Amino acid sequence: MRRVSVRLLPFLFVLYIFNFIDRTNVGIAALQMNRDLGLSATAYGLGAGIFFIGYGLFEVPSNLILARFGARRWIARIMVTWGIVAAAMMFVRTPMQFYVLRFLLGVAEAGFFPGIIYYLAQWFPRADRARALSRFLIAVPLAAAVGNPLGVLLLGLDGRLALRGWQWLFLVEGIPSVVLGVSVLALLPDAHTDARWLSDEQRFWLAARLARDEDGSAATHGLPPLRALLHPTVWLTSLLYFLLITAGNGYTFWAPTLIRDALHSSDLATGVITGGIACLAAAAMLAVGASSDRSGERCLHAAACAVSIAVGYVAAALLPTAVGRVAGLALVNVAWASSLAPFWCVPTTLLRGSAAAAGIALVNSIGNTGGFVGPYMIGLLKDATGGTTGAFLALAALALAAAALLLVLRRESHGCRWPHEST
């Protein structure tokens, strides 16, 4: 398992770093772009969130194609197309062009994240899975730790070659995704049976361990993909992921602007602050993932994180000092990121085979519509009320609802806990 981890996780981590940078760098670009394009808070929130409409519509078909034809070719295709669209954001001139390209970016990226979740479940036994997922998913906060300061530096190229700083940001951060997409064809095996860096004995051991997990799983055997899409527990899992994503992306797309306005900081200082918060989130993710694997408990870990998200939003809404409000936002990001690894261990145990590919994609598809709701709701309420208090309290309520649903899922599903297995 150490060899599998060393061979796969660093490479997948780098892929996801650029995936998340290209998805969320609009938050840093907004420091200049909104003024240049005359975007209101509502228009920016709509454009930031509409990405998830295109993303959600194509998640399930994309993941079914990956399960049928293999991860290597399909992930390469996804990365090359999203890199091209991400770089093309530099040509935006009107709000409508902004909406269209953000929608197309979602379409291009659809299937990447659920495809990787499905892919890792074919390599890592369940007792090792939360740690493996946390090592992959720390790309979410670390993309901000790397991308936000880098984005601010790229904004400093403003005026070079007659391009605005935000145009340089989209161009420079889009190109690596295309290059990495091509490298996937050479570096990523479709399955452990294709891994020439494992010995025959190691491949046999891993196949036997994964088979033992399946034999001991409560997941239904032979469930067709379309039936998986109607599974009640899949829909419950999708709903609570929607709530988590809505709460989390309220921070992701608005934090740079809100922190800058609260602290009256420079663009560079804002990038450093959000990057530091991201580093804290990465450390917390690793700790929560390890704790979840040690105990075999998934839902309670994720529920505790959801409650912490709510506490962070209440603090950001009601504390009287700017530093206190920013600390509340930091808690939101740390807790949201930490919820991801234990949460994603649940759907990978509910279903198997192509049904798992369909179910994971549906959970991610429905959940990520929250990526539209969260940013848009903050922008809409900010324009309507002149502040963010109402939006933050609403997001806190959604996080508490997610915590409640996680407790329901724990009671109803065997996917949240199993007897601890020694690794």
CATH code for the domain of 389 = 1.20.1250.20
Reading the block at residue 115, the tokens are 């495809």
* 316-333: average pLDDT: 91
pLDDT of 217 above 60: no
Instruction: For residue 274, tell me if it sits in a domain.
Output: yes
Looking at residue 205, its pLDDT comes to 92
pLDDT (0 to 100) of residue 226: 66
Q: How confident is the model at residue 157 (pLDDT cuts 50, 70, 90)?
A: very high
**pLDDT tens-digit readout, 172-185:** 999 999 999 999 99
Q: In sequence order, what DSSP letters do the residues of 257-268 get, joined into one string?
A: HHHHHHHT--HH
pLDDT on residue 55: 86
For position 305, what pLDDT does the model report?
Answer: 95
Query: Rounded to a whole number, what is the distance in angstroms from the first to the last CA of the chain?
Result: 9
In angstroms and rounded to an integer, the radius of gyration of the C-alpha atoms of the chain is: 21
Residue 419 has pLDDT above 50, yes or no: no
**Chain CA centroid to CA 182, Å:** 22
pLDDT at 167 (0 to 100): 95
Query: What is the pLDDT at residue 272?
Result: 83
Query: Does residue 423 belong to any structural domain of this protein?
Result: no
pTM of the model: 0.74
Per-residue model confidence (pLDDT) at position 84: 96
Task: Give the tens place of pLDDT for each residue, 76-92.
Answer: 999 999 999 999 999 99
pLDDT at residue number 271: 77
Assign 422 a pLDDT band (cuts: 50, 70, 90).
very low
Q: Give the model's pLDDT for residue 402.
A: 93
Q: What is the pLDDT of residue 262?
A: 85
Q: For residue 414, what pLDDT is reported? A: 54
In tens, the pLDDT along 12-69 reads 999 999 998 898 889 889 989 999 999 888 888 888 888 888 888 888 888 888 888 8
Let me know if residue 123 belongs to a domain. yes
| Length of the chain as a residue count | 423
The residue segments making up the domain with residue 65 are 2-416
Element spanning 183, H or E: helix 165-187
- 225 falls within a domain: yes
Q: Tokens 């007792």 correspond to what residue?
A: 127
Eight-state DSSP code of residue 127: G
Average pLDDT over residues 245-265: 81
Distance CA 236, CA 410 (A): 11
Q: What is the pLDDT of residue 252?
A: 72
Q: How many domains does the chain have?
A: 1
32 in Cβ contact with 92 (< 8 Å) = no
Q: Are 415 and 350 in contact (CB under 8 A)?
A: yes
Residue 164 included in any domain: yes
Residue 224 pLDDT class (50, 70, 90 cuts) = low
Specify the higher pLDDT residue, 229 or 4. Answer: 4
In terms of C-beta distances under 8 Å and separation of at least 24 residues, what long-range contacts does 346-349 make, across chains too? 346/237, 346/298, 346/299, 346/409, 346/413, 346/415, 346/416, 347/117, 347/234, 347/237, 347/415, 348/117, 348/118, 348/121, 348/126, 348/129, 349/126, 349/217, 349/218, 349/219, 349/414, 349/415, 349/418
CA gap 270, 66 in Å, rounded: 39
Does 32 map to a domain? Answer: yes
pLDDT at 351: 65
Q: Is the pLDDT of residue 107 over 70?
A: yes
> Cα 79–82–88 angle (5° rounding)?
140
Q: Say what the pLDDT of residue 102 is.
A: 94
422 assigned to some structural domain: no
Q: With pLDDT > 70 as the criterion, what percentage of the chain qualifies? A: 92
**Per-residue confidence at 421, pLDDT binned at 50, 70, 90?**
very low
**What is the per-residue pLDDT across 370-417, written as a single tens digit (0 to 9) for each?**
777 777 777 787 788 877 788 889 889 999 999 999 988 887 765 454
Q: What is the pLDDT of residue 223?
A: 57
Q: Please report whether residue 180 resides in a domain.
A: yes
pLDDT surpasses 70 at 219: no
